[in-house]
């Protein structure tokens, strides 16, 4: 209770007997949210006990201050109706008249069913809905590309270059650190094992194959999916919330062309370059570690690398970069454009976008592994 309030602000009550012999509950002090905080539940309980007396008179005329919180408290103690004997001041009368007119809360129109079967069905429908949306967005992009081929001056060069910088150049630092560390760990673990077999020099084959064909592209794609995919979704989402997308549309600037296509082109150019960069740094880290661990000279390693790793693996890695870049940007834009104008949808859309694009990256990797299983791998014998 705030101590600086005058004493009469506390909610008080006393039971008296009138001249006519009736018992009368006199309320004094203040019944407001401030004066009832935090004692409201206790006061309500006490009054409710007294209210059970039959034929009780309620006298509210001496209340110093009554607000709607206090009025609703009394109203509920009385069972949402006036007690038989009630004394009110005119302004209190007005408050209780309002309370009598309060309409009850209508039921929400559509009930949510959380049965497992319908939940599963909903998920499935949502999945197909997203799939259809993604396909129609890709179709729109193809149409845009066809249009740009006939109108080359309309190519959004500035946006593409801005996307290249944001998703490519600004990602160099983080991909380098992660790549370098993974290279060191991989090299450290495998060189120990190879050393036991006396096959030290094969470290070049292991590092080269795994990093160039598999690890470099995957690391780069997953990092970019988390970093740029979420940024793209959030950007489009905020533009939806602030009606910027609508502003673009009414200016005759189609957002599929200016926003989506430029992101897809930008990322499908940037990601292969980042793959190249991540793979090189990871290899460098691995070879440095091998040099320190088993004394394999870097010069020797670099000269044997072309023999150990067929060049097709490099093209495969870069190809994965292009495809993953397109997929990440497409997924990010799809989820971004679907965000509804509220904050919760923004968070949900961004999360879904990142999770989906990382899953897509791994699926693409698996498809590549199966489709190109005979390319770039030397089989013994």
Partner 1 sequence: MTTAEPVIEIAGLTTRFGQNVIHENINLTVLKGEVLALVGGSGSGKTTLLRQMLGLITPAQGSVKVFGATHYDCGHEKERELRTRSGVLFQQGALFSALTVFDNIALPMRELRILSETMVRDLVMLKLGMVGVEAQHVHKMPSELSGGMIKRVALARALALDPELLFLDEPTAGLDPALSESFVELIRSLREELALTIVMVTHDLDTLVAISDRVVVLANRSIVALGPIPDIIANGRHPFIKDFFGGARGRNALRIFQQL
Q: Is residue 340 near partner 1 by the rule CB under 8 A?
A: yes
Q: Is residue 159 near partner 1 by the rule CB under 8 A?
A: no
Residues 268 to 287 in contact with partner 1, rule: CB under 8 A:
none
Q: How far is Cα 246 from Cα 225, in angstroms, rounded to an integer? A: 27
Q: Is residue 105 near partner 1 by the rule CB under 8 A?
A: yes
Closest contact distance (angstroms) between CB of 103 and partner 1 is 5
Kindly tell me which of 102 and 312 has the beta carbon lying closer to partner 1: 102
Q: Is residue 54 near partner 1 by the rule CB under 8 A?
A: no
Out of 6, 21, 38, 152, the residue judged to bind partner 1 by CB under 8 A: 38
Task: Give the binding-site size for partner 1 (rule: CB under 8 A).
Answer: 35
Closest contact distance (angstroms) between CB of 74 and partner 1 is 11
Region of 47-55, 105-113, 271-279, 350-358 interacting with partner 1 (CB under 8 A): 105-113
Residues 75 to 104 in contact with partner 1, rule: CB under 8 A:
75-76, 94, 98-99, 101-104
Q: Is residue 7 near partner 1 by the rule CB under 8 A?
A: no
Kindly tell me which of 95 and 270 has the beta carbon lying closer to partner 1: 95
Residues 109 to 128 in contact with partner 1, rule: CB under 8 A:
109
Annotate each residue in 14-33 with x if it binds partner 1 (CB under 8 A) or - if it does not, as one string.
Answer: ------------------xx
Kindly tell me which of 227 and 240 has the beta carbon lying closer to partner 1: 240
Q: Give me the long-range contacts of 199-205 (CB less than 8 A, separation at least 24).
A: 200/294, 200/296, 201/296, 201/300, 201/304, 203/286, 203/290, 203/294, 203/296, 203/301, 204/287, 204/296, 204/301, 204/304, 204/305, 204/308, 205/308, 205/309
Q: Is residue 6 near partner 1 by the rule CB under 8 A?
A: no
Closest contact distance (angstroms) between CB of 248 and partner 1 is 19
User: What is the residue whose two structure tokens read 């060069």?
Assistant: 157
Closest contact distance (angstroms) between CB of 107 and partner 1 is 9
Kindly tell me which of 19 and 344 has the beta carbon lying closer to partner 1: 344
Kindly tell me which of 72 and 162 has the beta carbon lying closer to partner 1: 72
Residues 58 to 77 in contact with partner 1, rule: CB under 8 A:
67-69, 72-73, 75-76
Q: Is residue 2 near partner 1 by the rule CB under 8 A?
A: yes
Closest contact distance (angstroms) between CB of 65 and partner 1 is 9
- Please report, as ranges, the residues that interact with partner 1 according to CB under 8 A: 2, 4, 32-34, 36-38, 40-41, 67-69, 72-73, 75-76, 94, 98-99, 101-106, 108-109, 241, 340-345
């Amino acid at each position: 209770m705030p101590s600086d309030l005058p004493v009469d602000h506390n909610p008080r009550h006393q039971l008296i007997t009138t001249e006519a012999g009736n018992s009368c509950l006199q309320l004094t002090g203040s019944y407001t949210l401030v004066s009832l905080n935090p004692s409201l539940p206790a006061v309500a309980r006490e009054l409710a006990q007294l209210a059970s007396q039959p034929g009780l008179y309620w006298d509210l005329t001496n209340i110093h201050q009554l607000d709607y919180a206090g009025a609703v408290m009394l109203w509920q103690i009385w069972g949402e109706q006036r007690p038989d004997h009630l004394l009110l001041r005119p302004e209190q009368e007005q408050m209780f008249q309002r309370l009598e007119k309060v309409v009850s809360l209508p039921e929400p129109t559509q009930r949510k069913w959380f049965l497992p079967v319908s939940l599963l069905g909903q998920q499935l429908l949502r999945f197909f809905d997203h799939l259809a949306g993604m396909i129609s967005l890709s179709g729109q992009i193809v149409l845009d590309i066809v249009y740009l081929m006939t109108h080359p001056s309309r190519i959004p060069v500035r946006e593409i270059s801005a996307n290249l910088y944001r998703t490519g150049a600004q990602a160099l630092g983080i991909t380098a650190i992660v790549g370098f560390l993974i290279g060191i760990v991989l090299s450290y673990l495998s060189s120990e094992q190879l050393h036991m077999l006396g096959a030290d020099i094969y470290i070049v084959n292991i590092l080269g194959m795994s990093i160039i064909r598999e690890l470099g592209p995957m690391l780069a794609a997953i990092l970019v999916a988390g970093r740029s995919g979420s940024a793209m979704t959030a950007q489009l989402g905020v533009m939806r919330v602030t009606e910027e997308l609508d502003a673009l549309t009414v200016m005759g600037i189609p957002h599929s062309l200016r926003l989506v296509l430029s992101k897809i082109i930008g990322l499908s150019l940037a990601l292969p370059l980042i793959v190249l960069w991540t793979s090189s740094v990871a290899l460098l880290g691995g070879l440095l570690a091998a040099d320190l661990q088993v004394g394999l000279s870097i010069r020797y390693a670099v000269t044997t690398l072309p023999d150990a790793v067929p060049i097709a693996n490099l093209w495969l890695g870069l190809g994965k970069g292009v495809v993953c870049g397109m997929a990440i940007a497409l997924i990010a834009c799809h989820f971004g454009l679907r965000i509804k104008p509220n904050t919760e949808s923004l968070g949900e859309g961004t999360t879904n976008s990142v999770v989906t694009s990382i899953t897509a990256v791994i699926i693409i990797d698996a498809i590549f592994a199966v489709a190109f299983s005979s390319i770039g791998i030397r089989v013994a014998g």
